[in-house]
Amino acid sequence: MSSVIGIDLGGTKIAAARYDAKTWNVQADARYDTPKGKEFIAVFQAIVDAIMALRTEDTEAVGVGVPGLIRQPEGSIVTLPNIPRAEGFSLREKLASALKLAVSVGNDANCFALAEALHGVGKGRDIVVGITMGTGVGGGIVVNGKLLQGSHGFANEIGHMLLKPGEPPYPTEDKRGDVEQFLSGTAMGKRCEAAKRPEDYLKGEVCAFLQPEVLRETAWMCASLAHLIDPSMIIFGGSTGRALAPHLSAIQKELPQWMLPGIPPPDLAIAQLTNAATLGAALLTQE
């Protein structure tokens, strides 16, 4: 019986889990603090330590999900917005050298999408889009069980699709007007400063004015994805994405008016897994 380790690198925490490589059941897991205010080599060493704490004789590979852009197939970091001084770090190569194991590195939102498509609410669907909505907006597209990565590993940046070009919903020097500026938890906090929690953005009276706008903007995003890749299902995760749960039927109902006649709208769903980040990272090793 062989095992695979999945690592989810976050700005504050490193989550690690060891999985059975056949059943994908969790064998062991742990969480550690991400080193703060140090060179990235300290973060790298923390990742190595987390892996070594879980590694067994039958561990055959490691997958790592990171919150930023990864150049493929090298597995090198282009940028990690919430972890400083990581640019250009050859993460896959250095981990493989330190561990003497096969290593895969990918974007954390891609990991989320891969896990939900293969073992979560999207299981059995041919084309699945996973969208994480929290501090930012990320995503992944899984086609017949495989991630769509793009020519250089930069596909799936759903948060940076334009929604209202040049018209962000709050004062900012960045005028892109992309999805992230409208539908991330950070953006919603700026659009409704009275909210205390992500759930407040989309229920109750505190941000009542915002709710119809967000539902329509979410429908626009889904319609664009539907026209581009014709997915069977779009799955929402992250704190803000999960807060859409009471509104999915309303968004589903709104979708057809923004789509070409005759094109079936994708099914919309809320993420099912609690371990999608580390499971998806482990599944990168099977790509």
pLDDT for res 37: 81
For domain 3-111, give its CATH number from 3.40.50.720, 3.30.750.210, 3.30.420.40, 3.40.1000.10. 3.30.420.40
pLDDT at 121 over 90: yes
CB contact at 8 A, 140 and 111: yes
pLDDT at 190 over 90: yes
pLDDT for res 195: 84
pLDDT for res 254: 95
pLDDT for res 200: 84
pLDDT at 1 over 80: no
pLDDT for res 13: 96
The pair phi, psi for residue 235, each rounded to 5°, is -115, 130
Ranges of H-type helices in 12-134? 40-54, 91-99, 108-119
Q: Decide yes or no: CATH 1.10.3720.10 for domain 123-270.
A: no
pLDDT for res 171: 87
Mean pLDDT rounded to a whole number for the chain: 95
pLDDT at 210 over 80: yes
Instruction: State pLDDT tens for residues 51-92.
Output: 999 999 999 999 999 999 999 999 999 999 889 899 999 999
In terms of average pLDDT, the best of 154-158, 167-171, 209-213, 222-226 is: 222-226
pLDDT for res 196: 79
217: DSSP letter: H
Task: Give the residue-averaged pLDDT of 242-271.
Answer: 96
Going by C-alpha positions, the residue among 62, 7, 96 that lies closest to residue 285 is 62
- Looking at the chain, the whole-number percentage of residues with pLDDT higher than 90 is 89
Residues of the chain with CATH 3.30.420.40: 3-111, 123-270
Which whole-number Å values give the CA distances from 255 to 72, 130, 176, 225, in the listed order?
Answer: 34, 17, 24, 11
Confidence of residue 38 (pLDDT cuts 50, 70, 90): confident
Going by C-alpha positions, the residue among 205, 210, 211, 193 that lies closest to residue 251 is 211
The SS3 call for residue 207 is: coil
3-state helix, strand, coil in the chain (%, to 5): 35, 25, 40
pLDDT for res 20: 98
CB count within 10 Å of CB 275 equals: 19
Confidence of residue 163 (pLDDT cuts 50, 70, 90): very high
CB contact at 8 A, 17 and 6: yes
Confidence of residue 201 (pLDDT cuts 50, 70, 90): confident
Ranges of H-type helices in the chain? 40-54, 91-99, 108-119, 179-183, 185-191, 198-201, 211-229, 238-242, 248-254, 276-283
The reported pTM is 0.95
Give the pairing type, strands 13-20 and 3-9.
antiparallel
Token output for 260: 């070409």
